Structure 1
Amino acid sequence: MQNEPFFQRDGIYYVPQSSSRGPWNPQSLHGRVIAGLLGHALEDAFGDPGFVPARLTVDMYKLPGFDPIEIKTALVREGGRIKVAEAEFISGGVSMARASCQFLRITEAPAGEVYGPGNWDVPLPEDIPAPDPGTGPMGRMWATRPIQGGFGQPGKVRQVWMSEVREIVGGAPLTPFQRVAIACDFVSPFAHASSEGLSYINSDVTLYLQRLPVGEWIGFEKTDHQATLGVAVGECRLYDREGPIGLAACAALGQRRPPPKP
């Protein structure tokens, strides 16, 4: 990748680059790079080709600035079929986010059929014209191929393909898990954007995977948004070019001063 990475490694620290800037405050990081860096660290420390990182939960309880970041990881439990690990995101000496990841061993599928929604019926990314440069959400932070609906557009269906265009850490090519870990925070704006723009900031994100994605493109399909008195939950089903891979969900708080429309 030729684009500036979100972080550069400097000893034990990860140094945020300008590309990691978020939408709510020009001096703070984007939530997606927090989730991506925690996922990167957890996979680097505890990843195993015999296991699927089936659940990644990230709690974001303070908005980090551009101070160097330290990630502390710990193995909570390791068994024959499950591993549970944690990671803490420390910026300027202050804990600002925490993640837990559950790794499940790959085994044979049980007999029998269980109902599921199946694959979505949409064009592949290469069959969709690319939007004009800089016109998508957050400009060129990622590549998109809009399918149906979009930010604040009427109608219940919102579908889009997304592809990462930057490394999380400079010099470390994206793995399939890191690619979807940094993308999963997109569930919040995609589920919560309204006709007035994006007025919710998510305080967490949870990614569930039944398998790792194939290829560079992750498909998002909005499946739910609920909100009462400024507290919201949202969900998207996730796909790759071969079919469904899992889902992403988040909780969010209403913002008193929403940013400009994406």
Structure 2
Amino acid sequence: MFYEPLGEGRYRSTVHTTGPWSKLTQHLGPPSALLAREMERLPASAPMMIARVTVEILGPVPVAELSVSAAVERPGRSVELLSAELSAGGKVAARARAWRIIRSDTSAVAADADEPLAPPSAGRVMTRPDSWGPGYLDVMEWRSLAGSLAEQGPATVWARQTMPLVGEEEPSGLQRLLTVADSGNGVSGLLDPHKWLFINSDLTVHLYRQPVGEWIALDAATAIGPDGIGVAASVLHDLTGPVGRGAQALLVRPQG
């Protein structure tokens, strides 16, 4: 598991949350999913679906005990604004907001904006580069259709988490997607991560249908401007096709 539940909104982070650059801090995939889980648990008066999630990263998330809370910030019959907060040691490390929209039957006019991908079985096994630290990357199963963590440039990769997010609980489709979506800038990086920083300050995901199944794909590319700012953008897929898009704002500068 990524997190052991302790009750009353508290969770013990396991070593599997650890990011590739420090054994003390987490990859932001699991915390993003944990924030979404808390918002999904908020009662709704009608069948609704989260259509957009934005996670604001306020600082490193330590591999430690976390507290998570959520609330309906703006209730509504058709559209609601949700919010959530994640803290460690009394300090807020991340906040999230989500739009939850009432469901209706639009199956007769449903249309995808992107083409489906080849399945994970068509990809090659992708493993963690030796110079990257263990943790999160090792408990995700990766299949690359194009590019990889060790290659610079755009990438199309499938990923599947091999353990639950919380305890023995089955993760929701949204939780599985957010566990993966924060890897967009990592798989599509244009620069040597040992020489350059390209850190995301946020993650925004827009969805037009509920993700299903264990596998999530990132069709990702990064753009870098002349002023130390970049954007990593991903088309997000499950095994039945595209489900939405993700984006991350990047701070780009030389290491040291």
- TM-score norm. by structure 1 comes to 0.84
Instruction: Name the CA shift for 1:113/1:33 in 2 (closer, same or farther; >3 Å).
Output: closer
1:241 partnered with 2:239: yes
Q: Pick from 185, 191, 209: which aligns with 2:188? A: 191
CA 1:158–1:88: 2 relative to 1, 3 Å = same
- Match of residue 26 from structure 2: 29
Point out 4+ residue stretches in structure 1 off by more than 4 angstroms: 46-49, 110-114, 133-139, 195-198
| 1:81 paired to 2:68 | no
Aligned counterpart, 1:125 = 120
Q: How far does the alpha carbon of each residue in 1:134-161 deviate from its partner, in whole angstroms, 9 at most, with x for none?
A: 5698641311110012246366x52111
Aligned-partner residue type, residue 43 of structure 1: E
Matching residue of 1:15: 12
AA matched with 1:91:
A
Instruction: Pick from 2, 8, 15 the counterpart of residue 6 of structure 1.
Output: 2
Equivalent pairs counted in the alignment come to 250
Unpaired runs of 5+ in structure 1? none
Q: Does the aligned pair in 1 maintain the 2:53–2:206 contact within 8 Å?
A: yes
* Contact kept? 1:191, 1:236, Cα under 8 Å: no
> 1:9–1:170: 8 Å Cα contact kept in structure 2?
yes
Aligned pair partner of 1:171 in 152, 168, 171: 168
Deviation at 1:229, TM superposition (A): 2.8
Give the alignment's Cα RMSD to 1 decimal: 2.7
Q: Label 1:31 to 1:48 Cα distance change in 2 as closer, same or farther (>3 A).
A: farther
TM-score normalised to structure 2 length:
0.86
1:1-262 superposed matches below 5 A: 5-12=1-8, 13-46=10-43, 50-109=47-106, 117-120=113-116, 122-131=117-126, 139-151=137-149, 153=151, 157-195=154-192, 199-254=197-252, 256-257=254-255
Rounded Cα–Cα distance in structure 2 between residues aligned with 1:254 and 1:134: 22
Q: CA contact under 8 A between 1:191 and 1:225: conserved in structure 2?
A: no
Identity %: 24
Distance 1:80 1:26 in 2: 44
Instruction: Write the distance in 2 (CA, Å) between the matches of 1:149 and 1:93.
Output: 40
227-236 or 174-183: bigger deviation: 227-236
